[in-house]
Amino acid sequence: MAKVYDVPADELIAKLAEQLKDDKKIVPPAWSAFVKTGSHATRIPQNKDWWYERCASLLRKIYLHGPLGVADLKVAYGGRKKVGYNLAHHRDAGGAIIRKALQQLEASGYIVKVQGKGRLISSEGMKKMDRLATEIHRELIKAAPQLQRYA
């Protein structure tokens, strides 16, 4: 059985985002169509389904590096911002997006909150991620049979 570590992140996030669209508890807030992802961003996200991709990305990041808090995730999703002639400095991502997405993932049962440490992947979330990773790994082996020895 393949794990999240064994498959490319972009494919895993894309397929997980498609699955999260079917979950009734994960719904983009009304304000998500008008906000930037942080002060470092110049425009709003161009992809209309960016909320599901962010939720999938958060779930993967918590799986790999958990337990993580909102402050850790704000740093991870932040970026560089240049103001005038000054050198670029790091700016954190917006906290409301991360907080609301984590609350929705908690309500769906994919992550759990650990007091004083942050969020951690639940057993249900781990099962979902590992099954999806195994499915993606099988598709990769069908496309390139030489990867069979890594299974």
pLDDT score, position 66: 79
Q: Which residues contact 141 (CB under 8 A, 6 or more apart)?
A: 147, 148, 151
pLDDT score, position 2: 82
- Cβ–Cβ < 8 Å for 130, 48: no
Identify the CATH class of 4-150. Answer: mainly alpha
- Cβ–Cβ < 8 Å for 102, 111: yes
Q: Where are the chain's structural domains?
A: 4-150
Q: Is the pTM of this model over 0.85?
A: yes
Rounded Cα–Cα distance for residues 73 and 95 (Å)? 8
Burial zone of 57 (CB within 10 Å; 0-12 exposed, 13-18 middle, 19+ buried): buried
In order along its 151 residues, the chain shows pLDDT tens digits of 788 988 899 999 999 999 999 988 999 999 888 888 888 888 888 888 899 999 999 999 999 997 999 999 999 999 999 888 989 999 989 899 999 999 999 999 999 999 989 999 999 999 999 999 999 988 988 888 876 766 6
